[in-house]
Amino acid sequence: MSAQVTAVCVVHTLRPEPTNPDGRTAIDKRAVPGPVEVGVLGLAGDQQLDTRHHGGPEQAVYAYADEDAAWWARQLGRDLHAGMFGENLRTVGVDVTGAEIGERWRIGGPAGVLVQVTAPRVPCATFQRRMAEQHWVKRFTDHGAPGAYVAVIEPGTLWAGAEVTIESRPGHGVTIGEAFLRPEPGLMRRLLDAEDAGDVELTAKMRQHAAKAAARV
């Protein structure tokens, strides 16, 4: 099977969430049929309520791999439907954890979109409550497959079955998994050097994260 999107998900129900600014969360995503328009701020019909930590052009879309969801389903002994992790895209055949920061994916060919991998997802208390699993944030972190936020470089349309191809890689070698699980000083310095050389444009959050890690002795 070629690398492709297996589900496109948008918010289904706004749920109560005491830690968010307006007391609600949009983490409850569900798969929707047919093509979905996507712009620089994400998918039509989707929402992000805690905009301090979610959404915006740098985190417009969240992608999670079917392979990783299947691993968790086996560990937890339960079905984990598309959108359960709060993701907008489920993919198959895409090495999301191994994607380089700044890597670009063409999804759906000319009629689709061009996106750029920006950062790993960081689990939070809202995610813990969503999954209702003991020590979920620690377990999710320890597994080291966080999924990836992507920015939308060229808006268009997304649909289940759309093929995913890697259009370009910056070449610095720092992956989503490494930035998430082991942001070692040397690794993060390499990422900053790649930006200085013009090979990749980091988001403000990723630059701050890398600079903090690179400064550790």
pLDDT tens digits, 144-173: 999 999 999 999 999 999 999 999 999 999
Domains and CATH numbers, the chain: 4-181 (2.40.33.20)
Instruction: Label residue 48 by pLDDT band (50, 70, 90).
Output: confident
Concatenate the DSSP letters of all residues of the chain into one string: --SEEEEEEEE---EE-TTSTTSEE---EEE--S-EEEETTEETT---S-TTTS-SGGGSEEEEEHHHHHHHHHHHTS---TTTTS-SEEEES--STTPBTT-EEEESGGGSEEEEEEEE----HHHHHHHT-TTHHHHHHHHT---EEEEEEE-EEE-TT-BEEEEE--SS--BHHHHHH---HHHHHHHHHHHHTTS----HHHHHHHHHHHT--
pLDDT tens digits, 66-123: 999 999 999 999 999 999 999 999 999 999 999 999 999 999 998 899 999 999 999 9
